[in-house]
Each structure stands twice: as structure tokens, then as C-alpha cells.
Amino acid sequence: MSQMQFGVFTVGDVTPDPATGVAATERERIKAMVAIAEHAEQAGLDVFATGEHHNPPFVPSSPTTMLGWIAARTSRLLLSTATTLITTNDPVKIAEDYAMLQHLADGRVDLIMGRGNTGPVYPWFGKDIRDGIDLALENYALLRRLWEEDVVDWSGRFRTPLQGFTATPRPMDGVAPFVWHGSIRSPEIAEQAAYYGDGFFHNHIFWPKEHTQRMVALYRRRFAHYGHGTEQQAIVGLGGQVFMRRNSQDAVREFRPYFDNAPVYGHGPSLEEFMAETPLTVGSPEQVIERTLAARDYVGDYQRQLFLLDHAGLPLKSVLEQIDLLGEEVVPVLRKEFAIGRPAEVPDAPTHAALVAKAGGSGSARTGSAADGSAADGSTRDDERLAQFDTKEAIAP
């Protein structure tokens, strides 16, 4: 793989096609997501990522089931999540599910941890949304220990204690899947990613570039503060949304009804206003290349770029055409242009093989936190140290 990874992510919404008024069935939508992943590999892309949702109109409630199926039907594609709900999932189940997937996929697995954006999901899984940040911090601290330690003694606020517990299977080659922490608006999550030396993924689709710039800059500063390397050595990923036709006017005309009726931003600002204020790009492949390359000007050199293509009821045929345009006309240029002037100290995008090599066979490729985070009783205090972080000070320009 190249220094950067390029791919697609899906949120798995079932939305009526405004051109026909007809929505896909759940089965059709699930099968379409699999087809998108397979086509992404065929087109030469590096990554496919699926969201995790537990409410209509979304279908991807079981990412590991879907990714395991895709793993069996692909050979090179890196399989990821657009969000793994670290708040409402049990860390024990995450540890075991993704280690199992890691073995089945021969290491082609990583995760983007997130809190999700659906309030009702918390009580459905016995949690309180007011504990969202605290759950993210405590659950992730436990998850890391479950992957890194063969036998875990642990107690915390949000789940029953563990005594002499071993998560099975153990991570492949003794190296856990690489973790990105995804957030659009929470500086605490950028801080968490920096603390552990993990990746930070900013889903760059709703906010102006100045907001993204501040969040990524915060993560880079804190990554260096915790001793993981320079700010340039931090691991950054961006999301984005595009719709392309070779003629930009055709793209705008075709995409407008989908934008106007989209569940998340329909019936609000116009398509033109949204494109001016956010990274949404509807136009020609050249315009997508130009806007994507411009991201380096405000976030620095980064490691992963994922595109949302299949939102808002777009028919599968149109989505596969988008993937072809990405693979044939956009990504080859982006790979070449992003490599120009890329400083030598900027790390490549993470892969399992690279993490194993970094570990040197020692069984853990984690950079490690500034302190090991363990208290005498076996519980972790990472969440307490992170909770003291001053978000207002951190995001000041």
C-alpha cells in the first residue's frame, strides 16, 4: 500500500430514491453494501468501512458479521468501521469480536471508535447518554487492557468487575487491530486519541474546514505532548462526501434531488451553500481532486481519506460508477500528488504488517501512554487523567 490509504465508507441508510419514490429493502441494502466493498477492491481502493447503527432507517447493526462476509470475498481490501460504538458496546465483546475478525481476515482489520450520534441508543443498551464521554474513556481503557494483557483484573463504574479474565481469541500475532478515534465535535476524543498514540479520524462532512483544522491541530499538539513523536508524526484520517460526473453541471443536476431529500441535511441550506461551507464536493473528478488536495493545506499531511458515496437513496448503479471514477481518475492522481513534498518523518498509513514489524515480535505494537494507566487494584486511571483535560483551553485558536 501507498503512504496514504484511500477508500469508501457507508452509513447504511435505507432512504427512498427521490427519482422513483421507492426505497430498497433491508436485504437489498445490505447486499448493496457488500457489492460496494467488492467493487472498491476491484477499483484499486484500499479501505472499506461500515458504520454501526441500531435504529431505522439504518441497517448495519452488526459490523463484524458484514465485514467477516466481505473478508471472505476479498483478498486485499482493509476492512474497518466508520464507527464502533465504544459507549454502548461491552468492551469485552468488542475485544473478542474484532480479534476473531482479525484472524479471519488475515489482519486486514482496524476500527474507528466513536460515541455515535443517536441519543436513544444509550438506554436501549442500558446506558445513560449523560455518561457518553466517561463511557468512551473507561470502556476504551479496558479494551486496550483486554487486547494487551493475557489475564485482566479490572473494576470500574460502568460494568461488572473482571477477575482473572482472558479475552479469546488473542489478537493476531500478538498485535491488536489499529484504532482510530472518530469525532466531529468532541475535543475530549481528540485528546483520548493523542493520549494513547492512536489515530484520529475527523469525519469531515458537515463542518467548515476551520473546525476540522482546529480539531486536528489539537490532536497533533497533544500527540506530541504525550511523547509519541512530533506533530507531523500523528496519524490523521479524514472523511468526505462526493458525487461526480465528468461534466460538473451533470453532477449537480443529478445529485440535487438526493441532497434536497437526504435525512441528515435535506430541507436546509441549498446544495450550493453546503458545498461552499463544507467539504461536500459535487462536480467533476478534477474538482474532487482539487478539493481533496486542499485538505493538506489546513490539516497537514495525513494517512487516510475515506469518501461517502452511497447516502440518501442513490441507486447502486450510480454508486458503483462513483467508485469507478475514484479508482480510474481520482485516486491515482491523489496518490501521486500527496506524495510530492511529503516529509520523510510523516508515517505511512497503518497496516497490520507494519504494526507487527514495529513491535519486533514483542507482542505489542502500541506506542503506549505516557504512563501505564494501572492502579494498584488493577483498575485503570487513564479515564481519570483524561477527564482533567480542559477542552476550552485546548480548542482556542
Give 299-338 pLDDT, tens digit per residue. 999 999 999 999 899 999 999 999 999 999 999 999 999 9
Chosen CATH of 5-394 out of 1.20.120.1200, 3.20.20.70, 3.40.1170.60, 3.20.20.30:
3.20.20.30
Domain definitions of the chain by residue range? 5-394
Residue 382: pLDDT above 70? Answer: no
Average of per-residue pLDDT values in the chain = 90
* Residues 50, 46: Cα–Cα separation, whole Å: 14
For residue 177, count other CB atoms closer than 10 A to its CB: 26
Mean pLDDT of 199-227: 93
- Confidence at residue 25, expressed as pLDDT on a 0 to 100 scale: 96
> Tens of pLDDT along 123-137?
999 999 899 889 999
Name which of 233, 259, 310, 261 is nearest 51 in CA terms: 310
pLDDT of 43 over the 60 cut: yes
User: Coil, helix or strand for 134?
Assistant: helix
pLDDT band at 376 (very low <50, low <70, confident <90, very high): very low
Beta bridge partners of 306: 7
Q: Is the pLDDT of residue 57 over 80?
A: yes
pTM (two decimals): 0.91
Model confidence at 239: pLDDT above 50: yes
3-state secondary structure of 155: coil
